[in-house]
């Protein structure tokens, strides 16, 4: 018996579908994945609330709507290779693992990466590789990626990540100050990394992307 099923369906209906996310694959996966398994025991009853939650080390699992919005913006069909920067709890990673062919995820905090790996193994997501390190460098050996998703706020778009994006690929990133950012979708249009299309999606507030091509710690 899944005692959170009702809460999960309600989360998708009232927080996500009602705010305009229409990608049925994303909605179905968010109805399916047990978000409560990705939060601390003591926060389990808040797992489906309309807000981010702490996951330790001053980091957060993002608000469900933002996870849905960012995922939908990737336009995944199931055949893609995706890079995620900021594994955190592994919740967003699990969603990507359902919707893409392979997922590569980088987390700078080793204990969070270990927790995420445990969660993803428990749920049998074997198409996910996780590495500990500064994700602002990307994962060059595995590039190009059809999608890149950065789940922490950056001062600007790291060029090194655009270089690892396939032509036609999409990169989702919050950029701005340390206090507030704008969520961007950037599509690479050609071999030339300067030829991109940038779409602003909404205002948002993320924890810092900390690294050589992000903020200082």
Residues lying near ligand SAM in the complex (CB under 6 A): 55, 59-62, 85-86, 88-89, 91-92, 106-109, 112, 134-136, 151-152, 206-207, 209-211, 214
Q: For 162-206, give the DSSP string.
A: HTTEEEEEEEEEEEE-SS-EEEEEEEE-SSSTT-EEEEEEEEE--
- Minimal distance, residue 166 CB to ligand SAM, in Å: 21
| Residue of 62, 89, 143, 180 with catalytic role | 62
Q: What are phi and psi of 72, to 5 degrees?
A: -60, -35
Nearer to ligand SAM, 77 or 111 (CB): 111
**Closest residue to bound ligand SAM by CB:** 86
Would you say 62 or 181 has its CB closer to ligand SAM? Answer: 62
Minimum gap (Å) between residue 207 Cβ and ligand SAM: 5
Q: How far is the CB of 186 from ligand SAM (least distance, A)?
A: 18
Shortest Cβ 63–ligand SAM spacing (Å): 10
Rounded to the nearest 5°, which phi and psi values hold at 203? -80, 155
* Alpha-carbon span 211 to 134, nearest angstrom: 6
Q: Which is nearer to ligand SAM, 64 or 169 (CB)?
A: 64
Question: CB-wise, 152 or 173, nearer to ligand SAM?
Answer: 152
Residues 6+ apart with CB under 8 A from 70: 62, 92, 149, 151, 172, 183
Q: What gap in Å lies between CA 189 and CA 167, rounded to an integer? A: 6
* Angstrom distance (rounded) from CA 91 to CA 130: 13
196 with 174: CB under 8 angstroms? no
C-alpha dihedral sign at 147, 150, 156, 161: negative
The minimum distance between CB 195 and ligand SAM, in angstroms, equals: 26
Residue 62 a catalytic site member: yes
Minimum CB distance to ligand SAM smaller for 106 or for 186 = 106
- Kindly list the catalytic residues: 62
């Amino acid at each position: 018996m899944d005692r959170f099923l009702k809460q999960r369906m309600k989360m998708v209906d009232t927080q996500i579908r009602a705010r305009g996310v229409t990608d049925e694959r994303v909605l179905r996966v968010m109805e399916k994945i047990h978000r409560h398994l990705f939060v601390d025991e003591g926060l389990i009853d808040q797992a489906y609330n309309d807000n981010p939650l702490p996951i330790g080390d001053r980091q957060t699992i993002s608000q469900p709507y933002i996870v849905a919005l960012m995922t939908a913006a990737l336009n995944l069909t199931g055949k893609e290779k995706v890079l995620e920067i900021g594994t955190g709890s592994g919740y967003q990673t699990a969603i990507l693992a359902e919707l893409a062919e392979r997922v590569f995820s980088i987390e700078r905090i080793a204990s969070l990466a270990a927790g995420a790996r445990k969660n993803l193994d428990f749920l049998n997501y074997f198409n996910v590789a996780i590495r500990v390190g500064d994700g602002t460098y990307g994962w060059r050996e595995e590039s190009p990626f059809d999608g890149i998703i950065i789940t922490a706020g950056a001062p600007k778009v790291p060029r090194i990540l655009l270089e690892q994006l396939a032509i036609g690929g999409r990169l989702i990133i919050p950029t701005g100050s340390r206090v507030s950012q704008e969520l961007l979708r950037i599509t690479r249009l050609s071999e030339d990394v300067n030829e991109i299309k940038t779409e602003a999606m909404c205002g948002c507030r993320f924890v810092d992307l900390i690294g050589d091509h992000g903020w200082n710690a």
